[in-house]
Chain A
Amino acid sequence: MMLPTGRCVLAQARLIGGRAVSISRAYTRSRLLSTLAVLEQKDGQLSHGSLSAFTAAKKLGGTVHGFIAGNNISAAAQEAAKVEGVEKILVVDSAAYDKGLPENYAPLLVENIKKGGYTHVIAGHTAFGKSVLPRVAALLDSQQVSDITAIENESTFVRPIYAGNAIATVESTDAVKVITIRGTAFAAEAPGSGTGAVEEGADPKVDSTSEWVSEDLAKSDRPDLATASRVVSGGRGLKSKEEFDRVMLPLADALGAAVGASRAAVDSGYADNSLQVGQTGKVVAPQLYLAVGISGAIQHLAGMKDSKVIAAINKDADAPIFQVADVGLVGDLFEKVPELTEKVKSS
């Protein structure tokens, strides 16, 4: 409701004359701040992690709208509309956007951003956000701000650079600010008793120049790595896939933790690519991060050093991981981890 009111004031002020215009512009500028949060879905199910875009949007102030597109997504849209403080969810129900192909999803977003006159567009720094948002930004001639961890005000954002070894505070001068957020820095809100409207969004019906062929997702009953409250992560020290599975998985299950891995472990085939934690893999910030047989290279630390409690088991007392660990144990992981697993199980 704020949006039309603000516009109305501006229109009237223009009619009245010079002085009124400047006053009302200052007024309308803050009133007109409006954010489009881009939500993700899979097979018609709302991705709850993507609701963190709402958390960031609310920090900005102003109106908050959500956007969701895909096949058969009305239930997902209804669910998202229940997030407190969300005024409206724009829905484009079409199989064409189901896989989030950037060639047609980016023009779709651009159309809705322009139509809604949004000043901010926020998506998660996920595989989808990373693929689609820069394309959107280019089409809007806006310099995207990637992977932010904090919002200082409507144009000033904080983001890690150099694998998290430096923190940059940047001010965007673009008219439309296109932003991706680090999920671990903005806790996703659960749908509550909000009463947002669900409206049909604009569909420019641009054909995609790429086609989706297939996917192969690592199946696991364990918690999702990116959002788990506990993560146990294995490195090169595990020596083989068999040992990784034998040592790490029972520990993860005993703790109810997600399993992660260092690049060395992934490259050696001990664990799936999608489990890599670090600068170029997943960034996690669980309550407990337990690093087993991981030395703690800069690139790995970038993905886990915001964890609340970091524990490490390593036989090398000089391993850099011990510099960031709250709790460390110098010892042979093949001996210590099964021992720990037993103790966790029996406690």
Chain B
Amino acid sequence: MSALRILVPVKRVIDYAVKPRINKAMTGVETVGVKHSMNPFDELSVEESVRIRKENRAPGGVEDIVTISAGPAKAQDVIRTALAMGIDRGIHVELKEGEELEPLTVAKLLKATVEAEKSNFVLLGKQSIDDDAGQTGQMLAGLLGWPQATQASKVEFGEGDSVTVTKEIDGGVETVKAKLPMIVTTDLRLNTPRFAKLPDIMKAKKKKLDKKTLADFGLTSDKRLKILKVTEPP
């Protein structure tokens, strides 16, 4: 039985309750002075990883839970939130303010991280609510050649490193089974994330947070998709 080494990538996005405004140059959305928080689907992955350990759901146990976020200095806030929710340690890949990564680059970054951290289970949100691409988990699974289960509403661990996942699909649910190592992306019905309590927030400040740069992974933030313009919807 392999012990789980879980990687939980999180993204800092504009808070879901904020109505985004297009910037004057029509190149994107105004982000300065706007409330940001952890991508809601990532909160579900953080919660699930913590519950897997707390509820002893994996027969091999949970050895380590690490979170990673690539973003500006303020992305550390969402990493601290994840740590306060119960994740062991964090990795911050610092980007310049305004610098953003495409899902394919994030997937490459995560692949390198999985290899370095010897992760065998990656829990990602099914999509980020800013770009709405919904690609990173599947791309990572493709790059690693691992099995994937997207839009999970239930994750169960069994003997022989087996993982059974109930997925939300068009018209209902579907259950698939695979063996570790595996990639799972979360859907809304997976769980209800906890609020971090003040003592946990204080404790989270002492947890380990490694800082890295894209260059450490041999990557750049070059884009394959050029944003020509961003406009208001009709």
Which residues of chain A have a CB within 8 Å of any CB of chain B? 99, 101-103, 106, 126-128, 130-139, 141-147, 156, 159-174, 208-218, 224, 226, 263, 266-267, 272-274, 279-280, 282, 298-299, 305
| Given A131-B148, A138-B142, A166-B231; A213-B133 close (CB under 8 Å) | no
Contacts of A208 in B (CB 8 A): 147
- CB of B172, distance to nearest CB on chain A (Å): 4
| A-B pairs with beta carbons under 8 Å apart, 23 shown | A127-B168, A130-B134, A134-B136, A137-B104, A138-B140, A139-B142, A142-B104, A144-B104, A166-B232, A166-B233, A172-B225, A209-B145, A209-B147, A209-B178, A215-B169, A215-B175, A226-B170, A273-B168, A273-B189, A274-B169, A279-B129, A280-B188, A298-B17
Q: Are A156 and B228 in touch, CB under 8 angstroms?
A: yes
| Given A144-B135, A215-B172; A160-B147 close (CB under 8 Å) | no
Q: Are A101 and B138 in touch, CB under 8 angstroms?
A: no
Within 8 A of A (CB), among B192-234: 223-234
- CB of B117, distance to nearest CB on chain A (Å): 20
Residue among A127, A159, A165 making CB contact with B169, cutoff 8 Å: A127
CA of A328 to CA of B174, assembled, Å: 38
| Given A143-B225, A174-B224; A167-B233 close (CB under 8 Å) | yes
The answer, yes or no, to whether B171 is at the interface (CB within 8 Å) is yes
CA of A275 to CA of B173, assembled, Å: 12
The answer, yes or no, to whether B115 is at the interface (CB within 8 Å) is no
Residue among A139, A166, A298 making CB contact with B230, cutoff 8 Å: A166
CA of A172 to CA of B225, assembled, Å: 5
Q: Are A214 and B174 in touch, CB under 8 angstroms?
A: yes
| Given A135-B142, A135-B148, A144-B133; A211-B228 close (CB under 8 Å) | no
Contacts of A167 in B (CB 8 A): 230-234
- CB of B199, distance to nearest CB on chain A (Å): 29
- CB of A295, distance to nearest CB on chain B (Å): 13
The answer, yes or no, to whether B103 is at the interface (CB within 8 Å) is yes
Contacts of A217 in B (CB 8 A): 171-172
The answer, yes or no, to whether B130 is at the interface (CB within 8 Å) is yes
Residue among A160, A211, A218 making CB contact with B171, cutoff 8 Å: A218
The answer, yes or no, to whether B179 is at the interface (CB within 8 Å) is yes
CA of A211 to CA of B179, assembled, Å: 10
Mask: chain B, 137-154; 1 = CB below 8 Å from A; 0 = not: 111111101111111010
- CB of B71, distance to nearest CB on chain A (Å): 17
- Output the nearest chain A residue to B228 by Cβ-Cβ distance: A169
The 6 A-B residue pairs whose C-beta atoms are closest, nearest first, are A138-B142, A143-B224, A217-B172, A134-B138, A138-B139, A134-B135
Q: Are B104 and A138 in touch, CB under 8 angstroms?
A: yes
CA of A255 to CA of B146, assembled, Å: 46
- CB of A212, distance to nearest CB on chain B (Å): 6
Contacts of B229 in A (CB 8 A): 168-169
- Output the nearest chain A residue to B107 by Cβ-Cβ distance: A138
| Given A137-B104, A298-B19; A211-B177 close (CB under 8 Å) | yes
CA of A171 to CA of B175, assembled, Å: 37
Query: What is the size, in residues, of chain B's interface with A at 8 Å between Cβ atoms?
Result: 66
CA of A271 to CA of B228, assembled, Å: 40
Q: Are B171 and A274 in touch, CB under 8 angstroms?
A: yes
Within 8 A of A (CB), among B66-112: 102-104, 107
The answer, yes or no, to whether B131 is at the interface (CB within 8 Å) is yes
Identify the interface centre among B130, B132, B178, B187: most chain A CB within 10 Å of its CB. B132
Residue among B142, B150, B226 making CB contact with A136, cutoff 8 Å: B142
Q: Are B171 and A146 in touch, CB under 8 angstroms?
A: no
The answer, yes or no, to whether B176 is at the interface (CB within 8 Å) is yes
Q: Are A131 and B150 in touch, CB under 8 angstroms?
A: yes
Contacts of B178 in A (CB 8 A): 103, 209-211
Contacts of A106 in B (CB 8 A): 142
CA of A156 to CA of B225, assembled, Å: 9
Contacts of A138 in B (CB 8 A): 104, 107, 138-140, 142-143
CA of A105 to CA of B40, assembled, Å: 29
Q: Are A127 and B177 in touch, CB under 8 angstroms?
A: no
Identify the interface centre among B138, B145, B177: most chain A CB within 10 Å of its CB. B138
Contacts of A127 in B (CB 8 A): 151, 167-170
| Given A131-B138, A172-B225, A173-B226; A209-B172 close (CB under 8 Å) | no
Contacts of A142 in B (CB 8 A): 104, 224
Contacts of B150 in A (CB 8 A): 130-131
CA of A279 to CA of B148, assembled, Å: 22
Residue among A134, A159, A168, A282 making CB contact with B103, cutoff 8 Å: A134
CA of A214 to CA of B165, assembled, Å: 11
The answer, yes or no, to whether B14 is at the interface (CB within 8 Å) is yes
Q: Are A144 and B179 in touch, CB under 8 angstroms?
A: no
Contacts of A267 in B (CB 8 A): 188-189
Q: Are B132 and A162 in touch, CB under 8 angstroms?
A: yes
Identify the interface centre among A135, A146, A160, A216: most chain B CB within 10 Å of its CB. A135
